[in-house]
Structure 1
Amino acid sequence: MTPASSDSSDSSESSGGSRGSAEAVGAPGTTSTGGFGGFVARAHARGALVVQPRMGFSDPRLMREGLERTRAAEAVTVGTLTLDSYTRVNDLAAAARAVAEGVRLNGYPICTHSPAVTRTVLDGVHADSFPVQVRHGSAQPEHIVAALLSVGLDATEGGPVSYCLPYSRTPLSEAVASWRTACRMLARAQGGGRVPHLESFGGCMLGQLCPPSMLVALSVLEGVFFARHGLRSVSLSYAQQTSAEQDREAVAALRALADELLPGIDRHLVVYAYMGVYPGSRAGALRLLEAAARLSVESGAARLIVKTAAEAHRIPTIADNVEALETAARAARGTVRRPEPPGTEPRSEVYEEARLLVHTVLALHEDVGEALLLAFRRGLLDIPFCLHPDNAGRARSFIDTDGRLRWSDTGRLPLTGSAVAAARKLTSADLLTALTQVQRTYDPGGPR
């Protein structure tokens, strides 16, 4: 079955007039770099939020148009090549047939188009002032990493857990082995001014209904995995959830744990606009995106992955994505970062839980990949509602009356009894209500 095709004009990114120059400055305690991480660091140092769409087309001309219009948007942006489903699962024969027959895929088939074709897509667009990241969703990405390196790209994302459990039936052990290889491939490309960058998708597990402490822990653990395999520039992710206050605590926890465990590594934090059921109304969708932009700035994140007003209805056009980029950029410019709490202030519940999860896993084995495998095998890491065979499936979560995501059952997670909130057993109706809470909040008639 052919993957759903992309609309004839999907997403776009740009920098517009605000893409000024600045000295390369890393996050506190990190080293300065060039490349993708260096561009984001420079923008962050001058107070600009980098905004980025999800964008991928099988037609090289349309892919180039999307990049060009992204770059021209009134925002500080980076480019995206999102790959198609066949390439993601390494079914390159199917991708080749689709391209030969003129079938539109749901992304750019970087392993099927020749390097010369992809260089034509990138020529004159991809630059130090407009870096491009490859996004793909593959549990076994060696073929993708080889292809992106061959055309002069060196920024991508994913991870051994975050691109395995929610996306595939690949055994976790195979995903860990593949991501070891992929990290080493990227690390070997370092030098001569080239600084490969890898973003953890760990903060986005299943997109919704995963308590923030688990998202933070997985993102940090994947960041440590990347660093241990030679990467010197990484980003850690977090997906907007159901409580703005809890989200700010989560991003602060992510930063604090990164400071503790990734010294000397160029790094930044990236927020994803809400990844669950999106508002059906245009006004509601844009309000939710604006909230994500404010969260990013207030919490000190450097980059935001946007969603569009069309998400609930169809594949977004390039124009939809330009609108999303510019809407987020305007909201960001009208927001100021919240001051850091005093160092003596007690850490949040999210931080304490995430720190316990991270250090419990790291203590299992000196090899982070082996530690991750042991943790999932023993249920010390467990993703609510994830059906992958290597996930224990005992942990459960719910949305509390204050809007926070909490544990209703921690299974064998190494958390204290206080982590489990008093909650009745979750029914299918309760789950449906939870899944649509954000949509109902932001659509007309919902709470303001």
Structure 2
Amino acid sequence: RPDAIVATGRSDYPNQVNNVLGFPYLFRGALDIHARAINDEMKIACARALADLAREEVPDEVALAYGTQLSFGRDYIIPTPFDPRLIYRIPPAVARAGMDTGAARRPIVDMDGYELSLKTRMDPTASILRGINARARSAQARIIFAEGDDERVLRAAVLYQRQGFGKSIVVGRESDVRQRLEAAGLGDAAGELEVVNAANTEHLEDYKNYLYQRLQRKGFDTTDVHRLAARDRHVFGSLMLAHGHGDGLVTGVTRKSAHVLELISHVYDVGPHDGAVGVTAILSKGKIILIADTLVHEWPNENDLADIAERGASVARALGLEPRVAFVSFSTFGYPISERAEKMRIAPDVLQKRGVDFEFEGEMAVDVALNVNEMKKYPFSRLSGPANVLVVPARHSASISVKLMQEMGGATVIGPILTGIDKPIQICSTVSSVNDILNMAAIAACNIR
């Protein structure tokens, strides 16, 4: 019937009835009141809380995850599993019902305080990753994995396809890929992956002609171009993407990122003055911070820093964050005075003149940017809360910050996310795990750039 309203357990239809909408939060409320049992009234309270939530305006991060603005109606009668409000709306409703019916052995006295405590338990990093994964599954992008001779890359390619994100295209020799998959215990996946190389593609001449047009006035002859297009997997993968033979590219696992960026620059404009910026997401202790530029600009000037801030803010919004940008330095609002910190002081003025639509401030030390108590010492600051985008003075300081957080702080690192270019290309680090590579593939699939 055309007027039917349908709910189902399937994720590829509207109104998915997913058990994660109920049981984690139903048990949360029951456990927090030390309930003797979970009675019908508590279950009904859970259902009514879900029904009420579906009638409210949907948060931006949920809309981003599904690629559309949801509103109550025939295709949205129940909240989505990615709704961050579930944890602080359902447990209090269940707890109240348990207390009203005498099931609670330890009633909650301060219900407002209880709701606040539930909000603080939310892990925004997990929410963001779930949102990225949902968007990737919706996009069903064809991702090119350029380094088919690396076991981690092959594992990520298999996972990308088997977890329903889309199609994996691996650059490599078919025999090598099959051998490595078998060695990894994934021999059955050999027939699932599309394996492409210069020897088995019908597009090599087109790739070479395209590349020659870009490089003929940069000292490259036809022999050089053939060598790049036919023998270098990073260039070959970039050419595939440029010709629409894939929707995104993931590379960088086997070579230093600076070298990979140089190879990609043969096909795309990714130089310091081409608008390209590397933004790295740091996920730690329930918080997410973006650091830029971690890839392109070696020593940016104040105008470059303003560009970097804009690209960082764009990535923040693509991840469902409201950007708050801090230009960080060892100097805070002019003290101590240093010529090295001057550009960090001027860059916010450049943004001010551009009339950007996000919060920014600087120059400031990292603790002032991130610590609420330190921020209170500077009530004139334009930031309404802790910064979530840090623009650093140079690439070396960005690299040091990211790797220190990763190695000493145990942070999860996603990136650098290459932004500001025509196609979604993501460059992993040489220490990337299979999960890291899979995350980068999902980001490429979401077209975050």
- TM-score, normalised by the number of residues in structure 1: 0.26
- Kindly name which structure, 1 or 2, has the bigger radius of gyration based on alpha carbons: 2
Q: Which has the higher helix share?
A: 2
